[in-house]
Amino acid sequence: MKSERSLFFPQELQGAGTADVESLRSYVERLSLKHRLNPTTLVGLLVERMPLDSVSCPQNAYRLTQHWSLHGASGVGQRLAERLSAATTVDLSSSTLARFGSLFSPVGLAATRGVTHYCPACVQQVGDDGLPYGRLLWLVGGIRACPHHRVRLRDSTGCGAPLSARLELRCRPSLEGVCGQCGSIGFQCLKDQEIEHATDIEVWEAEQVSRLLSLSASSAAELSSDGIRRGLREVLDTRFDGKAVNASLEAGLARSVVWTWVEGKFRPTLRGLLKFCARARCDMVEMIGGSYVPSREVRSSESPAQPRGYRRKVLADDEIRERMREAAAMEPPMSGIQLAHSLQIDRKLLRTRFPAEHEALMEAGRRHSADANQARYLDVERRMTTAVETLRLKGKPVNRKSIRVEAGISTFSATGNARKALEVVMQRLDSHAEIL
């Protein structure tokens, strides 16, 4: 019908057709802001008008926007992008990795249920609306660097603003490139924090994935699993004398992994393929296309790929006991899992063969946790006490809410430190104790 109009007014997908293409999450968040809606409300309105038709698709918009697990090869993200494209008349097919879903294993393809990352330099660049946007590249599993600025990505949970400058929960924005706690655009709250430089291998990996993301829709459609297998064979023949096991071990993968890829038993993981290509010094995008093209040299000293060791670790019991005692005396004490990993032995072995030392190690851990918890409690109580004094000086009412707001502390749990400290402070107030 001619008079039928799109559900939302369109918003341009930033960086479309380039390596800096915007992620679906960032698009939804910016579109929501433009429409003055909460992202969950916007997705809810969309799903209400255009239901996601699969059983596996949660109808509940809250579940879709809770973890934003939409950027990998999952059908949910793809269908949401399709519906949002129809609702905005903007092509969003490149805003997720779904177009590469048939090439790679879905495992670890995109970050899920975790914190998001951002490049501290990229988020300083703002668009016409005065806001930065989130790149799809930052959500690709295993990518730790920005290829343009050669810096490490930061996780977006950190906030450098003082507690008093942090926003109330209801005022906090949900936008990529904007601090979720204080609302500062481009994470200006962390501008004094030193920017970490990325290693050569991290930058190389980011460059390879950038090139993959910048492929046009037609070029991406030409890629196939057969092409990857062809490329893998060519690389194996050229660089590893046709030996898949050698290639796997050198790339730090399990010995049969590359063989399963070549034989088409499993689709390669993107992270695994990056490791393999880094070791083989070949261009990943060309290899996916079916040919071997040497890549630039990556400094091997920085390469994280360590050949996987299959030899049994031989350690004397006394040596293990000594290491367990040292671990218990450390500050903070090492956990059993960490110790077992460092010794390259089974973690159950520590409990079964060295019960006394294991118990001592556990006790040290418990003691450390209790001390840390007590320190956190004291800190919260101190901040709340200070807040009470500040409120009194300002002549403002002193109650649970005003104390929480002034101290910049949220009390989510009924048993948490913040709640306990608040109760103690309120009791002191009621009995006119030493708080004054």
Nearest distance from residue 35's CB to other proteins, in Å? 7
For other proteins, the binding residue among 21, 24, 42, 324 (CB under 8 A) is: 42
Residue 121 near other proteins by CB under 8 A: no
In this complex, which beta carbon is closest to other proteins, that of residue 128 or of residue 297?
Answer: 128
Query: Which range of residues in 34-42, 245-253, 298-306, 330-338 is near other proteins by CB under 8 A?
Result: 34-42
Residue 311 near other proteins by CB under 8 A: no
For other proteins, the binding residue among 183, 231, 272, 333 (CB under 8 A) is: 183
Query: Which range of residues in 30-38, 55-63, 331-339, 397-405 is near other proteins by CB under 8 A?
Result: 30-38
For other proteins, the binding residue among 58, 75, 106, 173 (CB under 8 A) is: 173
Query: Which range of residues in 56-64, 115-123, 167-175, 389-397 is near other proteins by CB under 8 A?
Result: 167-175
Residue 38 near other proteins by CB under 8 A: yes
Separation of alpha carbons 192 and 251, rounded Å: 37
Neighbours of 101 (CB within 10 A): 18
* Distance set, CA 405 to CA 10, 167, 400, 422 (Å): 38, 9, 9, 12
Residue 120 near other proteins by CB under 8 A: no
For other proteins, the binding residue among 47, 61, 92, 175 (CB under 8 A) is: 175
Residue 402 near other proteins by CB under 8 A: no
Asked whether the beta carbons of 185 and 126 are under 8 A apart, the reply is yes
First to last CA, the chain: 72
How would you classify the pairing of strands 117-118 and 145-146? unpaired
Chain-centroid distance, C-alpha 340 = 26
Separation of alpha carbons 268 and 9, rounded Å: 39
Query: Which range of residues in 33-41, 246-254, 348-356, 365-373 is near other proteins by CB under 8 A?
Result: 33-41
Q: Which two tokens stand for residue 369?
A: 């946790």
In this complex, which beta carbon is closest to other proteins, that of residue 175 or of residue 273?
Answer: 175
For other proteins, the binding residue among 28, 122, 159, 178 (CB under 8 A) is: 178
Q: At what angle do helices 355-394 and 317-329 cross, to 10 degrees?
A: 10
Give the number of C-alpha atoms closer than 13 A to the C-alpha of residue 121, restricted to the C-beta side. Answer: 13
For other proteins, the binding residue among 10, 158, 242, 307 (CB under 8 A) is: 10
Backbone conformation region of residue 380, classed left if phi is above 0, alpha if psi is from -120 to 50, else beta: alpha
In this complex, which beta carbon is closest to other proteins, that of residue 165 or of residue 424?
Answer: 165
CB neighbour class for 162 (10 Å; exposed up to 12, middle 13-18, buried from 19): exposed
Contacts of 107 (CB under 8 A, 6+ apart): 269
Query: Which range of residues in 41-49, 52-60, 203-211, 214-222 is near other proteins by CB under 8 A?
Result: 41-49
Residue 182 near other proteins by CB under 8 A: yes
Residue 185 near other proteins by CB under 8 A: yes
Contacts of 292 (CB under 8 A, 6+ apart): 231, 234, 235, 238, 239, 282, 286
Residues that bind other proteins (CB under 8 A): 2-11, 33-38, 41-42, 45, 88-89, 130-131, 167, 170-173, 175, 178, 182-186, 188
